[in-house]
Amino acid sequence: MTQAGTTQNYVDTASVVHTGTGNVFLGPAPPPRKPPRRLAREELYFHMRRFVRPAVANAAYDTLASDRLVVLTGPDGSGRQTAGRVLLGELPGKEVPFELVPDVAENGHHHLDPDMVQPGNRLLLDLTAAEEQARREMAGQLPKLWEQVREQTAYLAVLLPDTDRELPHYVASQVHHLAPPDRMALLRRQLRCEGMDTRVCAPAPESLATYLTTRPPVREVARLAHAVVRLRRRHRHGVHHITDTPELFAEWCEKALSTLTDPQAAVDAIVGKATKAHERAFCYATALLEGARTDTVHAAARILTTATATPADPQPLLEQNGTHHLLRTIRADRDGDRHTFAQQEVAEALCRHLWSDRPDLRGVLLDCTPQLLALPALDTRERETAAVRVAELMTGTEPGTVLRQRVEAWAEQGTDGSLTAASALLDRLVQHPRLGTAWRRWIYDRAGVQTLTPGLRRVLTGVCATTMATRYPRSALIRLHRLAASEPEGQGATGALLTHVREDGQALHHLLNRLSRRLGAPDRHPRDLGIFLAVAADRDLLARTVTTDGLSCWRSVFRTAAPERWRPAAAPLLGPEADGESLRSLIAAAGRNHPALNALYLTAVESGPPAHAHRVLRLICDARSRHPPRPMEETAP
């Protein structure tokens, strides 16, 4: 019931709970490993399996299905976002919900554009983290948005904080107040989905029952389930074919709760025992790169030691303490040739301790981050975990200017490690409940700059093509289009844009609409023509350009581009397999432009038998005879 990111749920400023499948772009290659809509669908199914229905869920679903709008309120930690997504996902059909992102005008006012709503959309408008003034602005715009939702046969779920008691009268009948679900039932559901026999959970151990009486937020219950599953897996790794028992479950709960409720006690014990420089460097390297191999952790510790200018150990090499002693000192374990703590929360707490207790080391850690992430023995999961941890530490304390400087500086370095660090930080920022709007606006502004460094352009393209394409598809399209329009020839943004529209039919509709308006404007961008021809050159997209907006783009192409430039893209539309309506539409788009009509006829001659060329010629003649001559000022170049 936590807030869903692309692959993780961010539950506070410095901890992460993995709750779903998918991927985050963390490297230099922009294309995602899976289509964004497929990732969103997998994430939805993941939450639907673990969803514990609150008492008002059925009534809220009925309201959404009949009125196409539901407003969910509730206390913090009641699972509002998951409930909204699940209710939208339970509607008939296969459409995947995505978040509705308000536009921010130059004067700072928030605007909900009704044109963002397309037929069949399932939209989630999350206002729980918005400022009160912004919530009031957008609440006043709900009537027009709701009207557009009904006209487009779409659905909208609005999430509001529990403090908003005075709601507009026109949504009063759509409001449903969520109470937190039964926390024990939620815990059992989480454990059951991980393959655990939940019969051992009854009766609840004393430590667990005491903890649940404090009414923790549902995200903390999800963290507890994650910790119990982790301890269970480690136990099963050492003891084969063991059966879950109430005694073992009580033991796992007690260990998990000890670090969840008081992680600082474990950290103080570790740091208090690791007093030497090389021991603390090894401790922090193990926490940042938890699960990495022994040689990788040692290499990371050497990087931290060198960066802090720690003098070399004067002892002979054979007299120095080995890995076994260091692991015992920091209370970590060795699983094969990899280092790990008994509980993930200990590693996270150690990272927070390094960040909060030693602020003088923050700059050192950030300077070393690209080197740490570039260690060759790190696998993808370990690299992603370390990058996300550093990013979350930064977003919890650093001001916006420092964050921007780090994103740009890391991206400009252009190394694999620095690009990974910049992408992870920007990925975290665009999803942040409070900061996300400003950072998505920052990406929009930077995407139109032609002088971006290659590294920053790759980072912006990658974040837009993955995380934003999954959660904010329309915003991702606009930013990918701006990146493609401002990039030099042969860069990656155009390819990422084509991938995005190939996988999402609504994204293609939005792109053609944008291109038709921009190509028809007197101050059209010079790259827009090339972007449309790139779309037309894609055989998966070409047939879908014969629409109202697509034909408007073809009209601009015929009017402004030389035939040699557009003939290769248009050839399949003029082949023998083309239907008559598509041929007529394309010929009509050429109007009375004789060079364009001649080029269309020559393309048909080259692409099919004489009978097909004669068919195209007849259609051209019919089109000419039906259209009266245009005034001279309209035919002038």
Per-residue model confidence as pLDDT tens digits over 96-149:
888 887 776 655 677 787 877 888 889 999 888 778 788 888 888 888 899 999
Could you tell me the residue range of the domain that residue 231 belongs to? Answer: 181-260
Q: pLDDT at residue 318 above 70?
A: no
Residue 135 structure tokens? 């919530």
DSSP 606-632: HHS-HHHHHHHHHHHHHHHHHSPPPPH
57 and 156 both lie in a single domain: yes
Residues 233 and 275 both lie in one domain: no
Q: Residue 593: is its pLDDT beyond 60?
A: yes
Flag whether 464 is in a domain.
no
Domain boundary among 175, 191, 224: 175
For residue 428, give the nearest of 455, 393, 377, 456 by alpha carbon: 393
The answer to whether residues 134 and 55 belong to one domain is yes
Residues 82 and 156 in one domain: yes
Q: Give a yes or no: residue 149 inside a domain.
A: yes
43 and 170: one domain?
A: yes
Tokens for 587? Answer: 């010929």
pLDDT at 284 over 70: yes
Question: Does residue 344 or residue 199 have the better pLDDT?
Answer: 199
In a domain? residue 70: yes
Residue 274 phi/psi, 5-degree rounding, is: -90, 90
Using CA atoms, how far apart are residues 427 and 23, in angstroms rounded to an integer? 11
Q: Is the dihedral of CA 136, 138, 140, 143 positive or negative?
A: negative
Looking at the structure, do residues 270 and 285 belong to the same domain, yes or no?
yes
Q: Are residues 223 and 124 in the same domain?
A: no
DSSP H or E run through 464: none
**pLDDT attached to residue 154:** 92
Whole-prediction pTM: 0.79
pLDDT band at 429 (very low <50, low <70, confident <90, very high): very high
**Residue that terminates a domain, selected from 396, 427, 442:** 396
469 part of a folded domain? no
Q: Do residues 443 and 482 lie in contact, with contact meaning Cβ atoms separated by under 8 Å?
A: no
Mark whether 56 and 156 lie in a shared domain.
yes
Q: Is 428 exposed, middle or buried (0-12, 13-18, 19+ CB in 10 A)?
A: buried
Measured distance CA(264)–CA(342) in Å, rounded = 15
Q: Which residue has the higher pLDDT, 334 or 94?
A: 94
Assess whether pLDDT exceeds 60 at residue 487.
yes
Is 122 within a domain? yes
Stretch (H or E) spanning 139: helix 132-140
d(CA 345, CA 17): 10
Same domain, 208 and 297: no
Looking at the chain, the whole-number percentage of residues with pLDDT higher than 90 is: 23
Q: Are residues 272 and 248 in the same domain?
A: no
Beta bridge partners of residue 70, listed in sequence order:
157
Q: Tell whether 240 and 267 lie within a shared domain.
A: no
Alpha helices in 244-361 (DSSP H): 246-261, 263-273, 277-288, 294-307, 323-329, 344-357
467 inside domain: no
Amino acid residing at 418: S
Q: In the structure encoding, which two tokens stand for residue 512, read together?
A: 């053609």
Angle at 38 between CA 80 and CA 11, to 5 degrees: 35
Q: Considering 260, 288, 319, which residue would you say is the last residue of a domain?
A: 260
Specify the number of domains making up the chain.
Answer: 3
pLDDT confidence tier of residue 23, bands split at 50, 70 and 90: very low
d(CA 481, CA 479): 5
- Domain assignment present for residue 525? The answer is no
Q: Indicate if 234 and 187 belong to the same structural domain.
A: yes
- Report if residue 496 sits inside a domain: no
Average pLDDT along the chain: 80
Indicate which CATH number applies to the domain containing 89: 3.40.50
